[in-house]
A = this chain, B = another copy of it.
């Protein structure tokens, strides 16, 4: 695992991204971020499949560890749609939501329907202090709609 690739422009941006979050820059971390650039909303297992191509010898457990660390650092967002395993995406901090296809499980991003810091107002917050509102739209994607 002493495989230090030449720092290309792309990996260099990723390096800064990781370092900037106060984390050590490692090949598995670069590989995970790189994989999620290509495949947003991928599961840990899917990321692992991609990562081990680029960096054979990486363990699934390492991928779980990397995903957890990067999520905790705010570099990734974790979503857990009902019925699926957890998915990860690089787009963070912008209060966007998700469309999930009930036919094929594909996930698409949607900007917030209501405005900038929008969905934070529950009609009756019942004494709760609401920190975040998460919206999931369930439906059929264009492709599955045509297939039906």
Contacts and interface: CB of A to CB of B under 8 A. Distances in A.
Contacts of A116: none
A129 interface: yes
Contacts of A131: 102, 138-140
This chain's copy number in the assembly: 2
A10 to B, nearest CB: 27
A76 B129 CA distance: 28
Contact of A142 (B127, B136, B140): B127
Interface in A117-133: 119-133
Interface in A99-148: 99, 101-102, 108, 110-114, 119-142, 145
Interface of A: 78-80, 82-83, 86, 97, 99, 101-102, 108, 110-114, 119-142, 145
